Structure 1
Amino acid sequence: MCTHTPTCPPAESPDREAAHVVAAHPEQGWSLLCNGVLVFEDTGELLPDGRVVAPHRPVAALLA
């Protein structure tokens, strides 16, 4: 799906969040990355194969 040079990391990669945003909907709290990953405002993710990645916000962010 990615046409960038260099290509964005695939959805299975640990650095998948580094992919380019192709659709942003901040009013709804999510963005679609070019690798097919949906990233949510709470740092959760939905991968293209349907797997869910639980929110992983750093603890320091919760204390601020």
Structure 2
Amino acid sequence: MCQHKPPCPSAESADREAAQPLARHPEQGWSLLCNGVLLFEDTGELLPDGRIIAPHRPRMVTAA
């Protein structure tokens, strides 16, 4: 799917979020990356094969 030189990381690689966006819809909270990954604003992902990656945003730590 990716036509960039050098090619973007594949959907299976650990750094898949580094791929270039093909479409951005911030009003809807998602972007389509050139490797076929749907990246959501909460850091969740939908991979091209249908697998779901749960959001992995760092937790906020508050002072006690």
4+ residue stretches of structure 1 with deviation over 4 A?
none
Alignment of 1:15-34 (within 5 A): 15-34=15-34
Alignment of 1:1-64 (within 5 A): 1-59=1-59, 62-63=60-61
- Higher-Rg member (1/2): 2
- TM-score, normalised with respect to structure 2: 0.92
Tell me, in whole angstroms, the C-alpha distance in 2 between the residues paired with 1:57 and 1:28.
18
Question: In the comparison of the two structures, how many residue pairs are matched?
Answer: 62
Give the deviation of 1:58 after TM superposition: 1.0
Percent of aligned positions with the same letter in both sequences? 74
Helix, strand or coil at the partner of 2:17: helix
- TM-score, normalised with respect to structure 1: 0.92
Give the deviation of 1:16 after TM superposition: 0.2
RMSD over aligned CA atoms reads 1.2
Tell me, in whole angstroms, the C-alpha distance in 2 between the residues paired with 1:11 and 1:24.
17
Gaps of 5+ in 2: none
